[in-house]
Structure 1
Amino acid sequence: MNSQFQHSMMPQTTHDELARQNFMQSLSVHINRQMASNNKKIYENVAKPNFEQKHQHPPQNRHDILQAMQDQSYYRWWSILKRFQQEMMWESVGSSVERQLPELIIKAKNIQNQIGSLTLDPNFKIPAYMTEVDIHCMPGGYHTEIIENDLAVGAIYDRGVFVYGRGWLGTLNDDMGHSVIQNYLKPNYPNFKPQKILDMGCAVGHSTLPYIDAYLDAEIHGIDIGAPMLQYAHARAEALNKRVNFSQQNAENTNFPDGTFDLIVSHILLHEIPTFAIKNVMRECYRLLSPGGIMIHLDAPLYRHMDAYTAFISEWQTLNNNEPFWSEMRDLDLTAIVTEAGFSSEKTTEAFVLKHSCKTPNRSQPEKTPAVSVRPTWFAIAAQK
């Protein structure tokens, strides 16, 4: 696994803090590889035959498989351990950030010769769907502020994403942005030169920054609901010498004028918001795009792209990991939602986009057919106005 890039805003770990984080990564590998493969064996050899005997037919979908598996002691132990690891992973990062939070805040406040901007709204109301749970069990979710100029959840997210993913998003956690650019936009729109780009739900800007180097003449904007996320995002971008205009806004209803942007992107935003919000976001994208402008929203594949067992494992996120809209979003007809927002069906596309472009930037084509189980892909819904 690669080491995370150490920009000047990155929380520094002591020996013991790093050891805890490394252990959380190792435990994750054990849970998601060794134990997960045993789960599949138990399903095939025990739970599935029992279900067939009881119901006189095999499990038909993820719900049937859950019914078959939920009383299996090994599955329950795997599930408990997986949830425990998620909580302890955030704790291993959070305690490190808390120790040095005053220093990080001072660093952010004392940035010299800023090239980007940060606009926060003191009257901003966080949507209720973001405050009801700590999303993906991260304490404080995307928005919680405890002290003035708080950026703790941003710092936790920056380090935590790397620990959680064991570095698979690259040393700057920026693989999603690179994947959209290298494996979708560049191959499909080689002459596209957007002048204004918006990243919706940008968090700390992991996926935002690749667009700066890909489209050198573009003005880049990133919006998010969380002030501490944006505080950190701005400081991080400045530390990396990247110009971004960050602002605290809800992607459902922004303050930008009609037709402002040539390109609108999001990276794993859709599964964090409910259906009504997704519909609002698509309508807002249509309003904000200039004629000929493009939007692309990247996420994990939908349930209809998966076999029933893979869908069952995926749904664990909703049932046990504080991802309330994970399954809701994966059951949607996103193409229908996009066309209802105003985009034509002829210019609306679903695509599978290869991952790991931060490591292999020369891959040229998006994946055209589902291949969830055999090669790493993102799912994307895209449209041109």
Structure 2
Amino acid sequence: MSQQRHELLPTETHDELARESFVQALKSHIATRVSPGVREIYDHRVRDRWVSEHGAEPADRHEVREALSADTYYRLWSSVRRSSQHLLWSSVGDAVTRQADDLAARARVADAGLGTLRLDPDLEIPWYNAEVDIHAMPGGYRGEYMAGDVSVGAVYDRGVYVYAMGQMGALNDDYGHSICQNLLAASYPEFTPRRILDMGCTVGNSTLPYVDAFPDAEVHGIDLGAPVVRYAHARAESLGRAVHFSQQNAECTDFPDGHFDLIVSHIVLHEMSPAALRRTLAECRRLLAAGGLMVHADFAGYAGVDPVTQAMIDWDTYNNHEPFWGPMRDMDLVADAVSAGFDDGAVSIETVLTGRVLQTGKQQRAGQLTLLVGQA
């Protein structure tokens, strides 16, 4: 499957495409051939060395990580993973940089009159976003280097497709479709929201499925970075979808009380500090109309996961500019939602399948999204 073309998507030369193909092959090699070795070296030498030095096995993922960090194989694994991430962004970024002026010009004219765009030059970017280039993507979601810049939006749009090897769909919209089809249509077949809000929408890749699933609804998307919502608006317009994008902080929006029937997010919670996440849940409760739904998609917590697997998952917390990756997984999100104003018993953790196929070594499994679902 090739990524679906639209007016804002950058084009690559032969050499740029070759570099992107190399990055995909490298990431696949790491996942299938290198990553399984981490558990092997833990089982065969790291654990015994720790026991000989401390008199007991590592007690939790933090001690497992400490034990692994002294091993040369783990260091190699960590190094190549980090290098592959830098190669991802640089390979995609070179093509975007070469076309930055043209992409900005395209964004200025890509207006079909379907949706709207509101930017806030006075918006204070919270520290957890301003000080972190999330996923090690240069500029994060907010990097702006010229008037009308959409570069980081283009890097994200193409980078997600390369990173997921196309498994997120031709429009990187699998997560939105998975929620619409595998949760809302399956469990709430009579639910017909009038207004929908996507928090942390980035380039709107997961926002557009809601336009298709609920054609009579008014759909909004918000994000902190001007470049990504600018790109999202132009992208949606070029694809013929009506979405109202605005630059806002999900912790405190300018929408009135009870304005939305459905509030969603896709892989955003782990990019917020725990305090900001709790404030966002409270904002969701304020914004939801009676009977409305909140659906936040992210990854599963650490409960029931062995410490070695936890430590390998937690690599991103320390090495991929994801400082809240681990802390979010430790949170009791149901309890936090209740504390934010949702009724006890009206919040649950659900799981839905996605179209992605995850592979580690010879093992393949369908991708899953863990959903925090709350009803007002």
TM-score normalised by the chain length of structure 1: 0.94
Question: Hey, what does 1:380 align to over in structure 2?
Answer: 371
Superposition deviation, residue 59 in structure 1: 2.7
Structure 2 contact 7–110 (Cα < 8 Å) conserved: no
d(CA) in 1 for partners of 2:287 and 2:25? 44
Distance 1:179 1:84, change over 3 A: same
Q: Which amino acid aligns with 2:374?
A: A
d(CA) in 1 for partners of 2:112 and 2:46? 62
Superposition deviation, residue 133 in structure 1: 2.1
* Residues 49-68 of structure 1 mapped to structure 2, 5 A cutoff: 49-68=48-67
d(CA) in 1 for partners of 2:369 and 2:112? 37
Distance 1:160 1:68, change over 3 A: same
Question: Hey, what does 2:224 align to over in structure 1?
Answer: 225
d(CA) in 1 for partners of 2:366 and 2:301? 15
Structure 2 contact 219–243 (Cα < 8 Å) conserved: yes
d(CA) in 2 for partners of 1:382 and 1:22? 37
- Which runs of 4 or more aligned residues in structure 1 lie more than 6 Å from their structure 2 counterparts after TM superposition? none
Superposition deviation, residue 65 in structure 1: 1.3
Question: Hey, what does 1:304 align to over in structure 2?
Answer: 303
Question: Hey, what does 1:109 align to over in structure 2?
Answer: 108
* Residues 267-306 of structure 1 mapped to structure 2, 5 A cutoff: 267-306=266-305
Superposition deviation, residue 374 in structure 1: 5.2
Superposition deviation, residue 68 in structure 1: 1.9
Superposition deviation, residue 324 in structure 1: 1.2
Question: Hey, what does 1:120 align to over in structure 2?
Answer: 119
Q: Which amino acid aligns with 1:379?
A: T
Distance 1:373 1:299, change over 3 A: farther
Structure 2 contact 314–325 (Cα < 8 Å) conserved: yes
d(CA) in 2 for partners of 1:100 and 1:180? 34
2:345 aligned counterpart, secondary structure: helix
Superposition deviation, residue 57 in structure 1: 2.8
Distance 1:112 1:220, change over 3 A: closer
1:47 aligned counterpart, secondary structure: helix
Tell me the percent identity.
47
Q: Which amino acid aligns with 2:164?
A: G
2:2 is the alignment partner of 1:11: no
Structure 2 contact 349–371 (Cα < 8 Å) conserved: yes
Question: Hey, what does 1:315 align to over in structure 2?
Answer: 314
State how many pairs are aligned.
Answer: 371
Question: Hey, what does 2:42 align to over in structure 1?
Answer: 43
Distance 1:112 1:204, change over 3 A: closer
Q: Which amino acid aligns with 1:182?
A: Q
Question: Hey, what does 1:335 align to over in structure 2?
Answer: 334
* Residues 353-372 of structure 1 mapped to structure 2, 5 A cutoff: 353-356=352-355
Superposition deviation, residue 165 in structure 1: 1.6
1:303 aligned counterpart, secondary structure: coil
d(CA) in 2 for partners of 1:290 and 1:133? 34
1:345 aligned counterpart, secondary structure: coil
Question: Hey, what does 1:212 align to over in structure 2?
Answer: 211
d(CA) in 1 for partners of 2:180 and 2:247? 25
Cα deviation 1:241-288 (Å, max 9, x = unaligned): 111000000000000000000000000110001011011101100000
TM-score normalised by the chain length of structure 2: 0.96
2:140 aligned counterpart, secondary structure: coil
1:346 aligned counterpart, secondary structure: coil
Question: Hey, what does 2:257 align to over in structure 1?
Answer: 258
Superposition deviation, residue 33 in structure 1: 1.7
Q: Which amino acid aligns with 1:376?
A: G
Question: Hey, what does 1:369 align to over in structure 2?
Answer: none
Structure 2 contact 111–234 (Cα < 8 Å) conserved: no
Question: Hey, what does 1:70 align to over in structure 2?
Answer: 69
Question: Hey, what does 1:362 align to over in structure 2?
Answer: none
Q: Which amino acid aligns with 2:369?
A: W
Q: Which amino acid aligns with 1:253?
A: C
Superposition deviation, residue 305 in structure 1: 4.5
Superposition deviation, residue 50 in structure 1: 2.0
d(CA) in 2 for partners of 1:223 and 1:120? 10
Superposition deviation, residue 30 in structure 1: 1.1
Superposition deviation, residue 375 in structure 1: 4.3
Name which of structure 1's ranges 260-269 and 300-309 shifts more when overlaid on structure 2: 300-309
Superposition deviation, residue 44 in structure 1: 1.2
Q: Which amino acid aligns with 1:89?
A: L
Cα deviation 1:193-241 (Å, max 9, x = unaligned): 0000000000000110000111111100000000000111011101111
Distance 1:314 1:373, change over 3 A: farther
Superposition deviation, residue 122 in structure 1: 1.6
1:355 aligned counterpart, secondary structure: strand
Name which of structure 1's ranges 108-117 and 53-62 shifts more when overlaid on structure 2: 53-62
Question: Hey, what does 2:235 align to over in structure 1?
Answer: 236
1:264 aligned counterpart, secondary structure: strand
d(CA) in 2 for partners of 1:288 and 1:88? 40
Question: Hey, what does 2:360 align to over in structure 1?
Answer: none
d(CA) in 1 for partners of 2:213 and 2:68? 46
2:328 aligned counterpart, secondary structure: helix
